[in-house]
């Protein structure tokens, strides 16, 4: 079975030794994604916009590996304060309301960067490509 990995070029991927996303068989899994764009935290102070940006980054990596939003079966959301759950949940609903994956939302004390309010993970299941079936 072939394993495909992609990187976004982010400094933490190199520094900590992980991939942005991995496809193995029918599964496509993303690492935790935040609203960091070109090394800068986008949408500081806005949990809804941070969640949308983080999900966009995760979904872009799924697309690169042959999956899409309709293939998403699980999401995880980490927020740094309980009051962010409504905004982050709304962002999730806006993106996945028709798909309705299983979802987990956890409140954590903080994330890697002090401006990060949200981190997300996405898992998708899609039919493997021909070259992955070998």
Q: How far is CA 63 from CA 86, 90, 93, 111, 130, in A?
A: 27, 23, 20, 26, 17
Whole-angstrom Cα distance, residue 38 to residue 44? 14
Per-residue pLDDT tens digits for 69-119: 999 999 999 999 999 999 999 999 999 999 999 999 999 999 999 999 999
What tokens appear for 32 in the block?
Answer: 């935790």
Does residue 24 surpass a pLDDT of 80? yes
pTM score? 0.91
Average pLDDT over residues 21-47: 95
Does residue 134 surpass a pLDDT of 80? no
pLDDT at 84: 98
Does residue 128 surpass a pLDDT of 70? no
pLDDT band at 130 (very low <50, low <70, confident <90, very high): low
pLDDT band at 26 (very low <50, low <70, confident <90, very high): very high
Domain that includes residue 39, residue range: 3-132
CATH number at residue 73: 3.30.1330.40
> Per the structure, how many domains does the chain have?
1
């Amino acid at each position: 079975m072939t394993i495909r990995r992609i990187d976004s070029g982010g400094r933490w991927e190199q520094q900590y030794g992980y991939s942005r996303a991995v496809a193995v068989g029918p599964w496509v899994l993303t690492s935790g994604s935040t609203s960091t764009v070109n090394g800068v935290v986008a949408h500081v102070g806005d949990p809804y916009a941070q969640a949308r940006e983080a999900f966009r980054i995760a979904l872009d990596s799924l697309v690169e590996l042959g999956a899409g939003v309709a293939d998403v079966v699980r999401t995880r959301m980490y927020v740094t304060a309980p009051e962010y759950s409504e905004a982050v949940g709304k962002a999730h609903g806006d993106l996945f309301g028709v798909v309705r994956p299983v979802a987990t939302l956890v409140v954590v004390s903080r994330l890697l960067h002090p401006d990060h309010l949200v981190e997300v993970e996405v898992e998708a299941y899609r039919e493997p490509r021909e070259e992955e079936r070998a």
